[in-house]
Amino acid sequence: MRMLIFGPPGAGKGTVAGQVTSEEGIPHISTGDMLRQAVAAGTELGRTVKGLLDAGELVPDAVMIALVGERLEQADAQDGWLLDGFPRTLPQGEALAELLARTGQRLDLVALVEVADEVIVERLGGRRVCLACGATYHLTYSPPKVAGQCDRCGQEQVVQREDDQPETIRRRLATYHHQTEPLIAFYEAQGVVRRFDNSGAPEEPVRAVRAARRRSRKRRPTDTRFFFITSACRPCRRSIASSLTIRSRTSR
């Protein structure tokens, strides 16, 4: 199984991805982890990435696709993989398609985890964190016993992070939709996109992704036909046909 997963910040795609990769026995390859591993490995690409990050620059698409190609060549990715965080833009998606075509791989599934924007704003906007010990809370689902005071360490340093403020969340969502919509259209044209609503219980999209994986494995056998020249005699044609074994080949 070779798949991509998309979802806005706060949609819970990390939970879905973790369950899927655990069941499939394939690596969960995230952009951040991939960059950190490349730098730690000290490869030529890793040194290039380190120089860019140290300078505060964005990693160019050409370097990212080279990193992805390098990662997909590793032994644990030979039977499949789940890419999380790449591609982010249409040019990256097109570059990934070219890479897969060169290496003879097929993309089986693009999982799009969806949650309404206002539900995400409520989820993330209600989060609180203790600056002293790092304990996390949610004003609706798991508030501290005393407002502003941490249950774990007792410090009155339970605050809302800037990233969790509603205005910041909405800006991040707008950026996600602007970047992702053309990319989703690109994959929808290939017939590999499946949408999963994660507004409810987290196990619901996991079950839906599991069913979509099963369906994606069902492939029609290759329709192989042999045509014989009419000048051959009938016994000869039967003899030739009986000696042929036609096997339908489907990609893993």
Q: Which residues are catalytic?
A: 13, 88, 127, 161, 172
Neighbours of 107 (CB within 10 A): 17
- Measured distance CA(173)–CA(124) in Å, rounded: 12
Q: Are 200 and 113 in contact (CB under 8 A)?
A: no
- Measured distance CA(192)–CA(199) in Å, rounded: 22
- What are the DSSP calls for 124-170, one per residue? HHTEEEETTT--EEETTTB--SBTTB-TTT--S-EE--GGGSHHHHH
Amino acid letter, 88:
R
Enumerate residues 6+ apart whose C-beta is below 8 A from 55.
none
Neighbours of 65 (CB within 10 A): 19
> 186: which DSSP letter?
H
Q: How many helices (H) and strands (E) does the chain have?
A: 9, 8
Q: Find where tokens 């040194």 sit.
A: 47
Q: Which residues are 136's β-sheet partners?
A: 129
Secondary structure class of 74 (helix, strand, coil): coil
Q: What angle do CA 75, 76, 77 make, to 5 degrees?
A: 90
